[in-house]
């Protein structure tokens, strides 16, 4: 349903899980418990009172934070009624590894095949994820306490540990620089028309259910007849006030364990650079789209040594508008694929005629660009953490979104894995599985456009990142969590 002006209520921060608002940089210790429900009544009793951290801003940020999320199997195991479960979107119900076509689209083939995963498929499918974050030295004892509380209701199938590094990923690049900014105050007018400039400010409804999204619409989610919520635990839906909104203040959480072959990555760059140390750094930066310091290739400068927040904002204030051919930042660089930073019209010459041609689809060159237009509909809030060391290291990739299909799955399949992105015959230089595409074309190259001649092209790249597990979770609002724990 479309949003009506003026119907927006303020965001209820006390009902939103804090992970949506905070990345918890001040809580460097973290671990994620993946659980299966063994006694639904005991599991519900714990979920009914577990102290989940809210998104309310405190004068002194908390020393620990706890979050709870469910897979669709988890909701069923909790004995949530089938008709209610059925109102969740298909991709959440099917799961990340639910069918071969989805796995292929996400690039989960070959070494990434869910059949090889350590968790996330078959009996190793978690029901519940409990995410724990703590200040230095505070995690171990608290984790033991939480575990003891969970013992009656749950069986732990995996403990995902993390390392304390929050700002640098294992290949050695600054991470966590670019994030969408959420319009928490609901300042942006709800509307549904072409946005002419790239804007980092996203409607809350792109990341929280129950609010209008970038289309000015409410993302479908389970809405209940009032008799299903006799205690009035849930908020009423903004767009359907006669219904109780099970989605309000919740979102989806996508988790993927991505192992990084750090040695293999740098060995390959040494080979491609034939031992030239400067060239090897330049090639690696071209693959990422930023230097190790975080400086963007599209807009060199920024202030890599400013304070953390100022540094992130200066390193993030750019688009690719002045680099349409990818001479500074290759079109296929990871960050350019993951967020092409463009507006709703394909790029083109200024002026009304050009704009009209592009709007009506008469500009052939612009059509090719169309696939990568309108990034505002495909933003992700990233909340991943680094894990491990040496040969067993990588990222527990976590992202939040209101629509798994339009946000995570689109970015992962069309932009990162897509071997036709921007008319190129290659996939993401960091993440690609390197297997030929369905038309049997190779995907193991990486092109760097040059001003004065043909692209410089690396070929025969090996796979650097392997998927070891993954699942789709629902991260409910806190009232919805209590509802799921108590209502039958
Ligand atoms: C091991 C795997 C990965 C590595 C090593 C990696 C590395 C990086 C690095 C170094 C950055 C630049 C820092 C920043 O802008 O914050 C970045 C940005 C980003 N990555 Fe990844 N990434 C990985 C996986 C993924 C996946 C699976 C996705 C999405 C499905 C993704 C989406 C993004 C997005 C959206 C950005 C921000 C782009 C922007 O707004 O400019 N990454 N990544």
Question: Can you say how many angstroms the Cα of residue 249 is from the centroid of all Cα atoms in its chain?
Answer: 17
d(CA 169, ligand 1 centre) in Å:
10
* pLDDT value of position 87: 95
* pLDDT value of position 341: 93
**What residue owns the CA closest to ligand 1's atom 41?**
335
d(CA 334, ligand 1 centre) in Å:
7
- How far apart CA 143 and CA 250 sit, in angstroms, is 24
* pLDDT value of position 487: 77
- Residues of the chain predicted below pLDDT 50: 1-3, 5-6, 358-362, 364, 366-369
* pLDDT value of position 342: 87
Which residue bears the tokens 């689109």? 410
- How far apart CA 164 and CA 287 sit, in angstroms, is 25
Phi-psi bin for 345: left (phi > 0), alpha (psi -120 to 50), beta?
Answer: beta
CA angle 125, 126, 131 (to 5 degrees): 145
* pLDDT value of position 478: 98
Question: For residues 96 and 102, is the Cβ–Cβ distance under 8 A?
Answer: yes
Using the atom order of ligand 1, give the atom closest to the CA of residue 411. Answer: 30
- How far apart CA 363 and CA 331 sit, in angstroms, is 20
The dihedrals phi and psi of 223, each to the nearest 5 degrees, come to -115, 135
Give residue-wise pLDDT tens across range 68-97: 999 999 999 999 999 999 999 999 999 999
**C-alpha closest to that of 214 among 230, 191, 198, 232:** 191
Ligand 1: which of 397, 403, 465 to mutate, judged by most atoms within 8 Å of the beta carbon?
397
Question: For residues 417 and 431, is the Cβ–Cβ distance under 8 A?
Answer: yes
Give residue-wise pLDDT tens across range 442-487: 999 999 999 999 999 999 999 999 999 999 999 999 999 999 999 7
Residues contacting 210, CB < 8 A, separation 6+: 218, 221, 235, 237, 238, 245, 247, 248, 249, 250, 477
**C-alpha closest to that of 204 among 254, 255, 247:** 247
d(CA 330, ligand 1 centre) in Å:
15
- How far apart CA 178 and CA 294 sit, in angstroms, is 10
Pocket of ligand 1 (CB under 6 A): 169, 171, 173, 175-178, 258, 260, 288, 290, 334-335, 338-339, 380, 394-395, 397, 408, 411-412, 416, 430-431, 465
- How far apart CA 445 and CA 462 sit, in angstroms, is 10
* pLDDT value of position 386: 98
Using the atom order of ligand 1, give the atom closest to the CA of residue 335. Answer: 38
* pLDDT value of position 165: 81
d(CA 430, ligand 1 centre) in Å:
9
* pLDDT value of position 344: 67
Question: For residues 463 and 434, is the Cβ–Cβ distance under 8 A?
Answer: yes
**CA distances from residue 442 to 111, 242, 250 in whole angstroms, order as listed:** 17, 54, 40
**What residue owns the CA closest to ligand 1's atom 9?**
175
Give residue-wise pLDDT tens across range 376-435: 899 999 999 999 999 999 999 999 999 999 999 999 999 999 998 888 899 999 999 999
């Amino acid at each position: 349903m479309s949003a009506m002006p003026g119907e927006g209520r303020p965001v209820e921060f006390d009902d939103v899980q804090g992970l949506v608002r905070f990345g918890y940089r001040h809580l460097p210790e973290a671990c994620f418990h993946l659980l299966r429900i063994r006694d639904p009544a005991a599991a519900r009793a714990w979920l009914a009172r577990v102290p989940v951290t809210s998104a309310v801003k405190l004068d002194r940020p908390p020393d620990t934070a706890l979050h709870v999320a469910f897979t669709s199997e988890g909701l069923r195991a909790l004995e949530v009624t089938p008709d209610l479960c059925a109102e969740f979107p298909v991709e959440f119900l099917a799961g990340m590894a639910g069918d071969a076509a989805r796995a292929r689209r996400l690039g989960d083939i070959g070494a990434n095949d869910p059949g090889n995963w350590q968790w996330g498929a078959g009996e190793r499918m978690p029901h519940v994820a409990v995410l724990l974050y703590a200040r230095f030295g505070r995690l171990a004892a608290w984790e033991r306490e939480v575990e003891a509380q969970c013992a009656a209701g749950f069986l732990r199938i995996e403990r995902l540990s993390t390392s304390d590094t929050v700002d640098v990923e294992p290949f050695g690049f600054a991470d966590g620089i670019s994030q969408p900014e959420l319009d928490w105050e609901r300042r942006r007018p709800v509307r549904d028309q072409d946005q002419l400039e790239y804007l980092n400010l996203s409607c809350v409804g792109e990341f929280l259910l129950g609010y209008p999204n970038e289309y000015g619409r409410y993302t479908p989610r389970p809405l209940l007849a009032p008799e299903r919520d006799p205690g009035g635990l849930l908020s009423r839906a903004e767009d359907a006030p006669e219904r109780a909104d099970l989605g309000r203040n919740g979102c989806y959480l996508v988790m993927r364990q991505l192992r990084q072959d750090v040695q293999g990555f740098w060995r390959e760059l040494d080979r491609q650079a034939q031992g030239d140390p400067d060239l090897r750094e330049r090639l690696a930066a071209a693959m990422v789209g930023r230097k190790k310091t975080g400086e963007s290739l599209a807009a060199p400068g920024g202030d890599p040594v400013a304070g953390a927040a100022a540094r992130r904002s200066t390193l993030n204030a750019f688009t690719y508008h002045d680099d349409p051919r990818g001479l500074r930042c290759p079109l296929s660089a990871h960050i350019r694929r993951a967020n092409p930073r463009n507006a709703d019209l394909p790029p083109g010459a200024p002026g009304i005629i050009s704009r009209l041609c592009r709007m009506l689809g008469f500009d052939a060159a612009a059509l090719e660009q169309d696939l990568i237009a309108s990034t505002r509909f495909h933003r992700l809030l990233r909340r991943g953490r680094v894990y491990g060391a040496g040969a067993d290291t990588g990222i527990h990739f976590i992202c939040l979104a209101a629509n798994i299909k339009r946000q995570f799955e689109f970015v992962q399949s069309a932009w990162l894995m897509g071997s036709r992105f921007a008319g190129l015959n290659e996939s993401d230089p960091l993440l690609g599985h390197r297997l030929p595409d369905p038309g049997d074309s190779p995907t193991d190259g990486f092109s760097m456009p040059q001003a004065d001649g043909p692209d410089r092209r690396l070929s025969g790249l090996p796979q650097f990142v392997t998927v070891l597990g993954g699942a789709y979770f629902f991260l409910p609002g806190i009232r919805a969590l209590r509802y799921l724990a108590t209502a039958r």
